[in-house]
Structure 1
């Protein structure tokens, strides 16, 4: 009996203590915004929990607990509750912001405890980085709200005084507008969208995110869908973090202590885990694109548990704050919530500034589920229209928290606009801009043929027409025509395309064209941008071309495309030119070419929208290789040349030194060829002062020619190393471009260009330059800056021109920044 009594007493002692579960939310007392990652601790800080991104928490307390409960956050004043007080007020807790801002926090010089913790995080970042996993998938619920902030105190006082006036006829128009705007702002947001996507990733190279649910206030188009990576990177572990298309140096990266300072501000406990709260900010007098905020570091795996990071530039027009919360999925830390807040503080309307609030919640997270490559469509983002009722049902299913009254009113009011003709027209225009086409039932108009321009044709107007996916999802046929107002000539063509395998982008295309083509067309850049597109406008030396071609196109593996082709073409120079040999003289040329091209786009991003594949981003490197052979077939002239072309573009961040862009080109031809098939047209000198990547800025458009061409174009941005003011934030640019061409004696003797000089640059062409981005910047709609920059290039070496000013070229650039 005594033995049984002892067992009973021991069991009673081991019985779990009853727990009380308390749920609540913590908000900023001034703005009523949720406070993410606030700590709620008890038992002298040895136990507790923290809020999620929405400021919500769940705290489990022993039923008999009678000690203090502390609510703290590094940016807010601490609150200490007795247990009875906390039970009464836990549902909604308001914290008062501290007067100190993050950049004013004093960090003790030298080694501090935060450094050892940050080193551990950096050491383990590959283990905790979700982008290093073999595969994963999840469902993402995304919400975007565009709304005014709380009204400032002065305007609020004015509004209350106006409302107190009984006779509204005494009010001025501006006063009535103020009252109306305030009433509207208190009842609804100005825009809202909710979307649900299903995302899966198989590393390396396979990504797909598909829209499965959408609800947009006032609109229906999938273009209004949003995903987390529209605003911020998926994880916080890369050396550079791309936020709204700008790269910021990550405080969790090698060598961080020379750029950032850290301060260990708190230690909390979450279940069995210890969590350290570390503040970070750029070191004083360091000019780089940095962030400030705080990290919650878990001892479990030395991983980021949550992070709040704001852009550190005090002069930014728009304040950007990103938040990420990580949770354990099995043994792997994985993002569970991502927030982005854009505060347009200077965009004032009736005493309120504008804000864009983005929230993402991940669910159904699965890791290392043995995904296969054939489960991916080849499109990284799929935004296709979904039937309204089914779409709304999916949104309701994955919406974690009910809509508040402002959000419900936003839908109620703005959804009445969906059927307005002006809204429908606007949606169709947006769809047309995205797809570059206008649907007309079984047909569609190709907008890319509508208007172009160059120096030879002047303005060129045209029209393209193809069958649409409504006609066939596998086959399309169409044509185009264009008319140049300067050369007063029509051009036209047609094509037929058969899609053999949509997932691998495998298609066969038959093309006919009677058009013009620029000489040296075989050295086009691996990727087009504003500068290279502008260079095409400068083109002035063309051949008329009539050609028939058959081409295949398929994806060998992610990012790598293969394009074999066979073409029959007749070229007629539109300038004074003859090709001469001992036997004959030719004024036009009939050629048969076979070629194979390889194109590689690192981590390319393609959008599937309305049945069309639309490239929208890529990372570097970008590589292009082409081998072409002229063959003696049909009635082709005697040309039997072989031509090899390779081009590449690389972009590299170098810590403390800046960002480098490198373009490499090499082209070689063996055998005889007419002038237009040689390598030329790599000059970009013009009077319009626009920089053209991959071209020589001080070289005439067709100044040099060769059957061998090699070039390197280096552009390095050292970043903002001078001043940072509202009117100027210059970034120092350095340029160095080098090129070489050779022209064989046989080729030279065969070309009769009359008034055109044929010259190679065997001794090497060299130019260097220096520039400043954002030398001047101007306020743009109170949301950002429009920056104006200037670069100067100088030509020297073997091909320096005798008149000094002819060796100089000046270029301008325009950039937007928040």
Structure 2
């Protein structure tokens, strides 16, 4: 018996030894996978112990944990678009192994299926069939708390760039950058980081949205924590919905890999099926059919049960027809709501802007959003959505470190904590401050000096045939002076006419919620018939250019104006103005004061007093407030319609005429997906009374070499005037629709465009008879041209833009009125533009 007991004890000891040995030999590895270029996490990467079947994938933050009892000496990390990296493992211990994966610059191989239908196609058909069930925009309403983090860095810091004079002065910061980059990472120089916490609301019928930005924290070189920046760092500008056929990114339309017409744009590969969290999913890899198209390549996971998008990693590479953009990467994780449709809970976006020249560095912009506390199908009242973006009055108060530590959805990484310190150091370096101020002036046109902005610098100097050398200086108050009142003015002097010109204004912001302004101004200056500054306010560069060279039909004027503007309700703005103006011509001009009288007196100047009523309707227009200004970001879907009625008041302030004018303008930008983008402007006006032609519509011509959308580009200055007219201006940008398909040509990234300008107008005989004809070189000359009855003026054009990334060339044809003196029936005009 003792022998048996001893034998049992021996076996038990051996069993315990083997068990403990097996436990002691378990290998546990945790770590994080990041992009070597950007430092961002790489979610969904594959992590595998070499020589085993044990593996896992990283989560959305790039973290992983893996353990095994099997013998192994290394662990590998891999992901589509990256070079696989393998590292050694210490057996039988717990350890941390981080990876910094480098992008694989080799093109992905085409997906080829030998026989039968691609198995991915049936999955995609089911995704499209179930869009209404899974798309968040099918909900009556949804709302959530959103946390947004943005970081902007300078990357591709070469040795040559580091040796530049300005960079030598920030060596301390660069040394910190090197340390943070890590063993395999590439250093980036942070220049901006922000965090915001907001509440986002969406309503489906009618489609309305509202974001209330509660708190912001902004640190950046040359950036202040103002209301404008706080509005742009909210989630409203970082929303990407792949259930839509087209996604608008950096102003361009990109086709979604689950668009209704997916088969036209993409190739697919069904590569795997596995559980992602609690959902069994298909893994689909997708690739654009044409590498120049604005389309994505990447990976997405589709749930087997709902055919819903669970996760997606989509990249636009430098081969796409974009300027300056090296890469756009969007990573998204979605979760189902109680009602069924899925809402993104985490988003990460990377925008990599390449070097403009070899001597410059690039820019990385990184965006992260997290959504929680999601509620659905509880829409707010319509008036709740009146202001799409609102910043809380106390958005700067109480947002210290303790607040953010308790309200961030995800804690900051050690690298991000260091970024705050580096930016604070960087922005206090004197040379950086100097360059920052220069850049601000270049962008804004004004130099901030305490409570005043001095400028605009584009109008500091001009030279023309009337004034000679024109020098001008101006200033306006800013929000540091007052958030309710704005005062400003300018003074100009001409060396040839030796006269001062000036302008002054005062503005009161009565209400910011329903934007309401009261404004008074007085101006003494010179202008040109048909090139009125009021008509060119939206084309400031062309307006500044009209002050140079030979002035056509110039005149001096005094103008006093008062206006009141109020947003009656969202989308509808009403404006009322009273304006007094004089007309003192500096060219050969006269008109009959009583044309019905045979020997009518002739006058060569006049005065007008006008009451102007304007109604502007833009149903889904989005605005942001920049201190004391409100900036329109355009409409999403609907056109902008403006109605204007003008009443001339004879006798008021010695005004010479009674008259009525009625006009309408409709403008619309249209996104046409694969075929590019279009825009049109339709304008019409009727003037009921008989008036001298400076009070009619002298249509804007363009006799310069440069193309402008503000004019009819093959029409001469003051060639036509109308008392009734309607015109259409149409532009279409094909993007890469045609040239992307032509071998060799597609590498140039040129883009075709087309234009058409049509105007139908008339000038009644009584208006023509009001102006005396004059003789020039023995011939009778009409003072102003007019259109023939029932014949519109037409010019059409085609052209190429994006030549060398900045040049646009238009080839224009004038189709009629070719017998008019000194006209061109064909013209080539150029322009310079900065476009992506």
CA displacement, residues 82-141 of structure 1 (integer Å, 9 cap, x when unaligned): xx9999679868989889744533356884332333334334445544456545343323
- Aligned in 2, Cα 1:474/1:654: closer, same or farther, shift over 3 Å? closer
Question: Does the 8 Å contact 1:198/1:209 carry over to 2?
Answer: yes
Q: What is the alpha-carbon distance in structure 2 between the residues aligned to residue 610 and residue 181 of structure 1?
A: 34
For 1:36, the equivalent position in structure 2 comes to 43
The 5 A counterparts of 1:227-266 are 227=233, 233-266=239-272
User: Could you say which residue in structure 2 is the equivalent of 1:550?
Assistant: 562
Matched, 1:730 2:750: yes
Matched, 1:185 2:178: yes
The alignment's C-alpha RMSD in Å is 4.7
Q: Which of residues 652, 655, 658 in structure 2 aligns to 1:634?
A: 652
Q: Determine if the alignment matches structure 1 residue 794 to structure 2 residue 799.
A: no
Task: Report the counterpart of residue 732 of structure 2 in structure 1.
Answer: 716
Match of 1:44 in 2: none
Map of 2:766 onto structure 1: 746
Cα distance, 1:251 vs. partner? 2.9
From 334, 339, 342, give the equivalent of 1:333: 342
CA distance in 1, matches of 2:361, 2:605: 69
Q: Does 1:676 align with 2:682?
A: no
Q: Is the 8 A contact 1:240 1:248 kept in 2?
A: yes
Verify the 8 A CA contact 1:338 1:359 in the aligned structure 2: yes
Superposition pairs for residues 121-140 of structure 1, below 5 Å?
121-125=127-131, 128-130=134-136, 134=141, 136-140=143-147
User: Are residue 296 (structure 1) and residue 304 (structure 2) matched?
Assistant: no
Equivalent of 2:676 in 631, 653, 658:
658
Taking structure 1 as the reference length, what is the TM-score of the superposition?
A: 0.78
1:53 is aligned, of 45, 60, 65, to 60
Could you list the per-position Cα deviations for residues 375-421 of structure 1 after superposition, in whole angstroms to 9, with x for gaps in the alignment? 56847375999759735444444445544444444433442344455
Shift in Å, 1:703 = 0.7
Return the offset for 1:636. 4.2
Aligned to 1:5: none
Distance in 2 (alpha carbons) for counterparts of 1:255 and 1:817: 27
Q: Which runs of 5+ in 1 are unaligned?
A: 1-21, 42-46, 62-68, 156-173, 778-785
Higher strand share: 1
Aligned partner of 1:501 among 497, 508, 511:
511
CA distance in structure 2 between the partners assigned to 1:109 and 1:123 by the alignment? 25
Distance 1:728 1:743, change over 3 A: same
| Alpha-carbon shift at residue 505 of structure 1 (Å) | 0.9
- Higher RCO (C-alpha 8 Å, min separation 6): 1
Pair 1:423–1:24, CA change in 2 (3 A)? same
Map of 2:195 onto structure 1:
195
Deviation at 1:537, TM superposition (A): 5.1
Q: 1:534 to 1:110 in 2, by over 3 A?
A: farther
User: Aligned partners of 1:182, 1:350: CA distance in 2, in Å?
Assistant: 20
Contact 2:33 2:98 in 1 (8 A): yes
Within 1, Cα distance between the matches of 2:357 and 2:373?
41
Q: Does 1:141 align with 2:148?
A: yes
Residues 403/273 of structure 1: CA separation in 2 closer, same or farther (3 Å cut)? closer
1:757 maps to 2:783: yes
SS in 2 for 1:416: helix
Please report how far the alpha carbon of residue 303 of structure 1 lies from its aligned counterpart in structure 2 after TM superposition: 3.1
Whether contact under 8 Å (1:509, 1:551) holds in the other structure is: yes
Contact 1:337 1:361 in 2 (8 A): yes
Mapped pair 1:309 → 2:314? yes
TM-aligned CA distance change 1:245 to 1:659, over 3 Å: closer
Instruction: Name the CA shift for 1:266/1:654 in 2 (closer, same or farther; >3 Å).
Output: same
Q: How far off its partner does 1:551 sit? A: 1.4
Match of 1:210 in 2: 213
Q: Where do residues 544-623 of structure 1 align in structure 2 (5 Å cutoff)? A: 544-580=556-592, 581=595, 582=597, 583-601=600-618, 603-615=620-632, 619=636, 621-623=639-641
SS in 2 for 1:567: strand
Q: Is the 8 A contact 1:50 1:270 kept in 2?
A: no
Q: Is the 8 A contact 2:808 2:832 kept in 1?
A: yes
CA–CA distance in structure 1, aligned partners of residues 392 and 495 of structure 2: 39
Task: Give the C-alpha shift of residue 744 in structure 1.
Answer: 0.4
Count of equivalent residues: 751
CA deviations on 1:264-316 (whole Å, 9 max, x unpaired) are 222222455332222222214x8532222222223565432222222245277
Aligned to 2:521: 511
Match among 225, 231, 248 for residue 222 of structure 1: 225
Distance 1:461 1:86, change over 3 A: farther
Deviation at 1:808, TM superposition (A): 1.7
Q: Which one is further off, 546-555 or 118-127?
A: 118-127
How far off is 1:815 after superposition? 4.2
CA shift, 1:667, in A, is 1.8
> Distance in 1 between the 2:117 and 2:806 partners?
39
Out of 460-469 and 643-652, give the one that drifted further. 460-469
Q: Deviations over 1:67-90 (max 9, x none)?
A: xx999855579999xxx9999679
Q: Could you tell me which runs of 5 or more consecutive residues in structure 2 were left unpaired when the two chains were aligned.
A: 1-27, 49-53, 68-74, 160-166, 182-187, 775-780
